[in-house]
Chains A and B, each alone.
Chain A
């Protein structure tokens, strides 16, 4: 574009505040015309014990709880529960893109290659970069903020002559069941203090004047979050127990707003269902996992009317097809949308479902996505599932340790789950002279 040869300089800003494992904040100066391509460099942490990785689905995004772009005290854009959503966005890419560079930039492990020497297993392409014990050797990651803040993605410019007190605030997430692959190491995690915010600025005065005269504000789809819980069935305590229940919830977070796309997925809550008690490694990425439940049926009631025929979406193929048609290509290892896959040799490297597949991927990608494309007056979700504890030698939901896939199954019986709901909500910042309004429209 023309302004690239009209004088663009890259500014590098240190944080004005870094509180270890708590929050970091950057400020941008008033009176400049920035480009919206904000990115963070040197994001990460060091760790006091053994080298470990960030969550295999979320990468370094799992270390972020909330991210907010303020002008003074006005929220321009915000993403809450960053780890869970960005784990989806990491998955929401073509395999060739993830294998190419995203693993190194973000530190997740989504990206698969055929392992020719082991009978065609689906294997993780590369090991994600590790968190090391010193700040000099630890892995440092780079985050493009346009991926998580649609306000930036939908605008070319970020004028601080209009937004006079721009602040970027990151709140860190130190959850033992979602941040690190080995969750118990979280106690010795230390935030890097030299994380940099890189912002490009237009310096050619005539181009700046022209751009500002044409700047009318931004229309964008803010990503908003709501959630509800599916409670464990207290009657399902012994092997052989099974019961089907429907959780009906009215989501108040989107009322009165125009919603485009919806994303919904159930994740474990308890440590028993999220981490291997023997070695503290996360089961299928712990709380960032999107669980397929047994006999699952999803119905969405929009403004009093069922969106789906019959009882609702009740097959894994249809659910995955809808996700693809709504959100686009996802990097999906086959079978990971199911409650599990049949493999006779789950602990043997020659088995089709390799140990890495079984430990990190089994029952981890059961996302639900659909279009709403309407103003929400009321939005109700009916989520039906069967909780069960199978009969079988060695299966014990309380003291796991008898085979890898059985650990993956614990979440299915007598365990609470949190259902995360993200919606694209139509929002605008309208310029009024040298002031502006933020509205839902």
Chain B
């Protein structure tokens, strides 16, 4: 039963990785079992701190308007995460390819955690913090001593900021009837996890993200996981998977349709203005409320092929349905209406009540709002929550 802690380097190994880079990990567990729900992506933030002792965030505290989204933390580095199983096992191909992952994290943590809940070990190792200002402190890394005239002395001991995030992707969203879920090579063959790093403007924000700091890089990039001795028994495993779609909303009354290769039982979405998407100063992960939302209607055919339509007109009803759509197995993080309101975020969504094959039938959202009346278009980021059995 003894455990092995694995610290896996990327296949395409480089000293540092920066925005838009893809990092591939071939997960090695031949002859053993992979412990699920505890797979972590770890790295050191090499720049903007140019070296351990120098850099824009290092010696001087005047670069204070430079932040990460405090509810997302280092999840923001992961623009896309894909999981692929090889042909050797019973299941093969891409199990999940989740794009716009930081926005999903933003929606999930905004619905499930308050600012005070961010005082936790789960948050701190992911550079999530109770407020934006503290994210600036954490990005500076460890520091000893006390500053004189706002400047630290370079010879005082310092460490670079680093993180160990547990991405909310399919291999970390697993349940099993047989205790701690584990995966053997017999079930899926080999496993490759690919991570594409987000662009700078989607990771950082603040006026100093345009003036003083314009890029980032990660070093010491690794995938962390544990393996156990293979007992020859394969337990049935159910993974929560996600698929997303990004659509433009440019009118007062608009219907959006989606077909996706997923068996989904809920859908969650959020908005962001198109005009602000390239801003480094603004937090591009914010889930903004479109102007004058007056009506929202979800329509689809359920598993018995009966036509279902949910019409929502009240703001609280819209948020309540959305919060119910994004909750999942993690009982320590209850999604609540209070959290999403206190975190000042706006999401929409629906729990379908049963699983619908979205590859065969269309899912539609009708939105009546003030979008378009002031020539400001929005992007709707929709995430469908499904399952995959192994």
A330 touches B121 (CB 8 A): yes
B144 touches A329 (CB 8 A): no
Nearest-neighbour CB distance to chain A for B241, whole angstroms, equals 22
- Tell me which residues across on chain A come within 8 A of B121, comparing CB atoms: 320, 323-324, 329-330, 332
B162 touches A317 (CB 8 A): yes
B122 touches A329 (CB 8 A): yes
A320 touches B124 (CB 8 A): yes
Interface bits B125-148 vs A (CB < 8 Å: 1, else 0): 111011111101110111111111
Other-chain residue from A96, A120, A308 in contact with B133 (beta carbon distance below 8 A): A120
Identify the closest chain B residue to A409 (Cβ): B144
Nearest-neighbour CB distance to chain B for A303, whole angstroms, equals 8
A405 touches B42 (CB 8 A): no
- Tell me which residues across on chain B come within 8 A of A372, comparing CB atoms: 2-3
Answer yes or no: B301 CB below 8 A from chain A CBs: no
Other-chain residue from A316, A336, A374, A388 in contact with B157 (beta carbon distance below 8 A): A388
Identify the closest chain B residue to A318 (Cβ): B164
B153 touches A352 (CB 8 A): no
Nearest-neighbour CB distance to chain B for A97, whole angstroms, equals 10
- Tell me which residues across on chain A come within 8 A of B226, comparing CB atoms: 371
| Main SS class of interface, B | mixed
- Count how many chain B residues have C-beta atoms less than 8 Å from C-beta atoms of the other chain: 59
Interface bits A346-386 vs B (CB < 8 Å: 1, else 0): 10000011000000000000000011111000000000001
- Tell me which residues across on chain A come within 8 A of B138, comparing CB atoms: 334-335, 341
Answer yes or no: B1 CB below 8 A from chain A CBs: yes
Which one of A49-57, A111-119, A215-223 is at the interface? A111-119
Answer yes or no: A95 CB below 8 A from chain B CBs: yes
Answer yes or no: B152 CB below 8 A from chain A CBs: yes
- Tell me which residues across on chain B come within 8 A of A342, comparing CB atoms: 61, 137, 140, 143, 147, 152
Identify the closest chain A residue to B44 (Cβ): A315
Which one of B4-12, B256-264, B285-293 is at the interface? B4-12
- Tell me which residues across on chain A come within 8 A of B125, comparing CB atoms: 316-318, 320-321, 324, 337
Interface bits A21-32 vs B (CB < 8 Å: 1, else 0): 000000000000
Answer yes or no: B305 CB below 8 A from chain A CBs: no
Known A-B contacts A96-B117, A317-B164; A373 and B156 likewise in contact (beta carbons under 8 Å) = no
11 residue pairs bridging A and B, Cβ less than 8 Å apart: A114-B115, A310-B7, A318-B40, A334-B137, A338-B141, A353-B137, A392-B155, A393-B148, A403-B145, A403-B146, A409-B157
Q: Interface of B with A (CB < 8 Å)? A: 1-7, 38, 40, 42, 44, 61, 115-127, 129-134, 136-138, 140-148, 150, 152-153, 155-157, 159, 162-164, 166, 220, 224, 226, 228, 332
Q: Interface of A with B (CB < 8 Å)? A: 94-96, 99, 112-114, 119-120, 122, 240, 292, 294-295, 302, 307-310, 315-318, 320-325, 329-344, 346, 352-353, 370-374, 386, 388, 390-395, 402-406, 408-409, 412
